[in-house]
Amino acid sequence: MELTLESNKDRFREARKGLFVHWGLYSLLAGEWKGKKYPWFGEWIMHSAKIPIREYEKLASQFNPLRFNARDWVRKAQDTGMRYVVFTSKHHDGFAMFNSKASPYNIVRATPFKKDVLAELAEVCKDTEMPLGVYYSQAMDWHEPGAGNSSIDEGYGNNWDFDFGTPQEFTRYMETKALPQIQEILTQYGPIFMMWFDNPLPSFTYEHATRTRDLVRKLQPACLISNRIGHGLGDIRGWGDNYLPDKKSDGLAEACATMNETWGYKRDGGRWKTTDEIKEMINQSEKNRYNLLLNIGPMANGEFPFEANHILESLKI
């Protein structure tokens, strides 16, 4: 059957549950930098600890996730009734978890692992008919000057390595890294179910958003687009992190939530939700007609944390 935007919308409506995966160099630090624990989310530690780019880059030489098994990830998701996966291809730290010609700062070219985990995941998803969504941080990139670092972006960018970025620098980032990498994702890994964008900061203008949307529509017309592309251009309604509405939603909608208190892995990632709490979240989302995208942050070796595996085991259907 040929995929269309409408058929993917139908698949999304029927899915109800999905697995969100936040994984990157930050999993090596697990919430700590130079002996100090940092609050906030694990994937934000470069920002929280103000780690200089040249020091953070060195993590790539240590990243060798030999326990990564894409088939195991997908099987565990399917066993719990999750019917799509969304994988973080590049988070705000700017490191690509796929083979990118647009930037050598990626898992294939910069780590001893030298494998394209997105390619492996895409292959397994194809074999098992599991729709694959891809997260991409389009507006924030702490590895690049001007990417979310404008004076109007309220301190979300890299303001320890760079001065305030300019609109020209942001446009250069879009043209030389963000748009080329989005094109790579949409041309190298088969059908993409959804592009899950994030944090459309003020410097990410309507023009930037329309260029991004139009690129997705051109390369994969059936691909859904999350509302965090901004400017009302997404296909799927969403809310803030860990917010689950208690009223019925019309149209396509999705809430995203963590199993504990972080998205990327931390050794001390806060209290894990109980199985009963997560079951109640699932019931609430189903009753109010929106999908629940439930997150796991794998450890640096590629495995899910023990607690996450325990929750998945208890959610088996």
Write out the DSSP string of the chain.
----HHHHHHHHHHH-EEEEE--STHHHHTTEETTEE--S-GGGHHHHTT--HHHHGGGGGG---TT--HHHHHHHHHHTT---EEEEEE-TT--BSS--SS-S-BHHHHSSS---HHHHHHHHHHHHT--EEEEE--S--TTSTTSS-STTSTT-S-TTTS----HHHHHHHIIIIIHHHHHHHHHHSS--SEEEE----TTS-HHHHHHHHHHHHHH-TT-EEBGGG-TT--SBEE-STT---SS---SSEEEEEESSS-SS--TT--PPPPHHHHHHHHHHHHHTT-EEEEEE---TTSPPPHHHHHHHHHT--
Taking residues 188-192, report their average pLDDT.
Answer: 98
**With 90 as the cut, is the pLDDT of residue 53 above it?**
yes
Q: pLDDT at residue 195 above 70?
A: yes
How confident is the model at residue 317, as a pLDDT? 85
What's residue 154's pLDDT?
A: 87
pLDDT of residue 223: 98
Q: Please state the three-class secondary structure of 88-112 as a single string.
A: EEECCCCCECCCCCCCCCEHHHHCC
Model confidence pLDDT, tens digit, residues 4-20: 999 999 999 999 999 99
Please say if the pLDDT value at position 1 is more than 70: no
Residue-level pLDDT at 270: 95
**Mean pLDDT within 270-282:** 96
User: What is the band of 315 on the pLDDT scale with cuts at 50, 70, 90?
Assistant: very high
pLDDT at residue number 2: 81
Q: Is the pTM of this model over 0.95?
A: yes
pLDDT (tens digit per residue) in 213-255: 999 999 999 999 999 999 999 999 999 999 999 999 989 999 9
Per the prediction, the chain carries an average pLDDT of 97
Mean pLDDT across 263-275 = 96
Return the structure tokens found at 213.
Answer: 């949307």
Domains and their CATH numbers in the chain: 5-314 (3.20.20.80)
130-161 confidence digits (pLDDT tens) = 999 999 999 999 999 989 999 999 889 999 99
Instruction: Examine the pLDDT at 83 and tell me if it is beyond 70.
Output: yes
